[in-house]
């Protein structure tokens, strides 16, 4: 932002509130005003001013009368991606098919954050069902990057990134199936984190690819992410994949970082992004860490494997949107079959339909072995290779994306080019490991933010957050 955010960390917010330098009400008013000022960027699809101000008043009252009762997240204002359920609030996953749908319950993570004193400012725009890399695929229209409004903010959590970039909250909640937190964070100069699969409950997330989806967090620094992770993580009776994080060994002062030369030399890699990435690696070496190349023969297979498996999962997950149970029902339908057919045809975007069809195709009996089973094998090989590397290394370095944020409309007619932009982010989801996007500098010619990524072994999330400063 022009002058940077009012507060750059949760610690700074809470310190100012405790010292009485600002009230929580004034803080939330500031955030809401910022959201109004930057309305044209289309980051929010709905703001919750009355509720947010009421919660802020309650925090102010506690600060005055019962500071000992304040939750660990007092004064923490968050934005919520439009595919995460919040009881009594509309949630549409950026899609017409969920028009008018209200959540009956809150996501477990949302509940835990509210219990800890957090305040939700509003619902952020996203690619329909989290399917996209540019946030152009939303029924509410594209989101614009505050760095350059003619450019995309990244996706699918583009609204989340811009909500933070424009100082309307101190952290943003999103989801990451194949990079939807990390890539927009990289394009907007923020930290973006996807935890180990199973660390945060998926209960209340609108499913895209269930074996890939994780709730993720964007913030101005990794310590804030760690705080929010500790509040939201852990077992949940509503999601059997959410478990307690097993202990992992603490990080030594000299970290060992592997990188894959293939990722830096791949044909789609922009020269400026490469030079920023190389400078980041050089910085790690200068700081005394071990940085070593490692072979990564699977690079060409991970995008196909990711899109085969996620479309397969999406095709079954999205079967529930049938015009009967949730949201939109076509007014033109005359009978049951037309209700399904027209509601789904009119309710889903082109991209969502493309993926449902692709997923149905790769799961069909004649093609299952050739595509779905093969992709599962690639997934297994990738996980094994990464786990092997993590025997000798603490982290794996990857670029976050091959380019900086592109211009709105540049890739909309070419879905394959769009899919290829996810080449560096999908590995973490295929393998279920934690990963963080870190702002690494600016593109030497375009002056736009460049992010890089570090991946860690399963459950080493906190080591990763501690290191990624």
Which of 42, 95, 133, 138 is close enough to bind ligand GLN by CB under 6 A?
133
Question: Does 156 participate in catalysis according to the annotation?
Answer: yes
Residue of 450, 431, 445, 425 lying closest to 156 (CA atoms):
425
**177/221 with CB nearer ligand GLN:** 177
Candidates 79, 81, 138, 157; catalytic one: 81
Rounded alpha-carbon distances, angstroms, from residue 86 to 47, 123, 180, 347 = 13, 10, 20, 22
Binding region for ligand GLN (CB under 6 A) out of 92-100, 130-138, 290-298, 452-460: 130-138
At closest approach, how far in Å is the CB of 422 from ligand GLN? 5
In the DSSP assignment, the letter for residue 167 is: T
**75/130 with CB nearer ligand GLN:** 130
Which of 310, 349, 403, 427 is close enough to bind ligand GLN by CB under 6 A?
310
Task: Please report whether residue 131 would count as binding ligand GLN according to CB under 6 A.
Answer: yes
CB 236 within 8 A of CB 228: no
Size of the site for ligand GLN (CB under 6 A): 14
Task: Please report whether residue 94 would count as binding ligand GLN according to CB under 6 A.
Answer: no
At closest approach, how far in Å is the CB of 133 from ligand GLN? 4
Question: Does 364 participate in catalysis according to the annotation?
Answer: no
Structure tokens given for 47: 């703001």
Question: Does 343 participate in catalysis according to the annotation?
Answer: no
**101/307 with CB nearer ligand GLN:** 307
At closest approach, how far in Å is the CB of 299 from ligand GLN? 17
CB 218 within 8 A of CB 232: no
Residue of 466, 10, 380, 433 lying closest to 245 (CA atoms):
433
**127/461 with CB nearer ligand GLN:** 127
CB 389 within 8 A of CB 364: no
At closest approach, how far in Å is the CB of 118 from ligand GLN? 23
Task: Please report whether residue 156 would count as binding ligand GLN according to CB under 6 A.
Answer: yes
Residue of minimal CB distance from ligand GLN?
180
Task: Please report whether residue 422 would count as binding ligand GLN according to CB under 6 A.
Answer: yes
Q: How far apart are CA 351 and CA 101, in angstroms?
A: 21
Task: Please report whether residue 177 would count as binding ligand GLN according to CB under 6 A.
Answer: yes
3-state SS, residue 174: strand
**167/176 with CB nearer ligand GLN:** 176
3-state SS, residue 21: coil
CB 55 within 8 A of CB 29: no
Task: Please report whether residue 176 would count as binding ligand GLN according to CB under 6 A.
Answer: yes
At closest approach, how far in Å is the CB of 5 from ligand GLN? 25
Task: Please report whether residue 153 would count as binding ligand GLN according to CB under 6 A.
Answer: no
Only one residue has tokens 């195709």, namely 361
CB 358 within 8 A of CB 307: yes
Cα 95 to chain centroid, rounded: 18
At closest approach, how far in Å is the CB of 355 from ligand GLN? 8
**In 10 A of CB 226, how many CB atoms?**
19
Residue 295's contacts (CB-CB under 8 Å, 6 or more residues apart) are 260, 262
Only one residue has tokens 């000299």, namely 254
Task: Please report whether residue 216 would count as binding ligand GLN according to CB under 6 A.
Answer: no
CB 182 within 8 A of CB 429: no
Binding region for ligand GLN (CB under 6 A) out of 22-30, 40-48, 68-76, 176-184: 176-184
CB 119 within 8 A of CB 56: yes
Candidates 95, 134, 156, 201; catalytic one: 156
Binding region for ligand GLN (CB under 6 A) out of 71-79, 129-137, 274-282, 359-367: 129-137
3-state SS, residue 426: helix
Task: Please report whether residue 137 would count as binding ligand GLN according to CB under 6 A.
Answer: no
Q: How far apart are CA 255 and CA 258, in angstroms?
A: 10
Candidates 180, 201, 349, 427; catalytic one: 180
Residue ranges binding ligand GLN (CB under 6 A): 130-133, 156, 175-180, 208, 310, 422
State the catalytic residues: 81, 156, 180
């Amino acid at each position: 932002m022009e002058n940077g955010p009012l507060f750059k960390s949760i610690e700074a917010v809470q310190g100012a509130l405790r010292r009485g330098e600002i009230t929580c009400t004034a803080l939330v008013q500031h955030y809401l005003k910022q959201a109004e000022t930057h309305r044209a960027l289309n980051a929010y699809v709905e703001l919750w001013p009355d509720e947010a101000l009421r919660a802020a008043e309650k925090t102010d009252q506690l600060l005055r009368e019962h500071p000992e009762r304040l939750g660990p997240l007092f004064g923490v204002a968050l934005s919520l991606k439009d595919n995460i359920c919040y009881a009594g609030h509309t949630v549409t996953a950026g899609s017409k098919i969920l028009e008018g749908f209200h959540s009956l319950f809150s996501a477990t993570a949302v509940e835990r954050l509210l219990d800890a004193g957090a305040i939700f400012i509003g619902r952020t725009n996203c690619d329909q069902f989290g399917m996209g890399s540019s946030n152009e695929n939303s029924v509410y229209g594209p989101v614009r990057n505050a760095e350059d409004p003619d450019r995309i903010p990244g996706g699918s959590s583009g609204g989340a990134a811009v909500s933070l970039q424009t100082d309307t909250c101190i952290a943003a909640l999103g989801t990451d199936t194949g990079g939807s937190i990390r890539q927009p964070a990289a394009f907007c100069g923020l930290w973006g984190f996807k935890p180990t699969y199973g660390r945060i409950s998926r209960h209340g997330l609108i499913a895209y690819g269930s074996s890939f989806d994780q709730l993720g967090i964007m913030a101005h620094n990794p310590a804030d992410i760690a705080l929010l992770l500790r509040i939201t993580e852990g077992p949940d009776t509503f999601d059997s994949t959410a478990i307690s994080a097993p202990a992992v060994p603490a990080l030594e002062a000299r970290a060992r970082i592997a990188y894959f030369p293939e990722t830096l030399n791949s044909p789609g890699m922009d020269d400026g992004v490469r030079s920023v990435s190389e400078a980041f690696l050089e910085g790690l070496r200068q700081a005394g860490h071990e940085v070593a190349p490692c072979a990564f023969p699977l690079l060409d297979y991970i995008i196909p494997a990711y899109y085969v498996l996620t479309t397969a999962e999406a095709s079954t997950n999205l079967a529930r949107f049938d015009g009967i149970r949730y949201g939109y029902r076509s007014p033109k339908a005359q009978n049951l079959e037309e209700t399904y057919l027209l509601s789904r045809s009119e309710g889903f975007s082109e991209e969502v339909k493309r993926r449902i069809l692709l997923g149905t195709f790769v799961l069909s009996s004649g093609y299952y072995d050739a595509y779905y089973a093969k992709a599962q094998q690639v997934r297994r090989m990738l996980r094994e290779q990464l786990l092997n590397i993590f025997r000798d290394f603490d982290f794996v370095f990857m670029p976050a994306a091959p380019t900086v944020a592109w211009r709105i409309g540049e890739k909309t007619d070419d879905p394959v080019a769009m899919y290829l932009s996810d080449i560096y982010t999908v590995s973490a989801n295929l393998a279920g490991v934690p990963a963080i996007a870190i702002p690494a500098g600016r593109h030497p010619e375009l002056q736009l933010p460049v992010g890089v990524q570090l991946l860690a072994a399963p459950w080493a999330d906190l080591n990763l957050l501690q290191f990624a400063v």
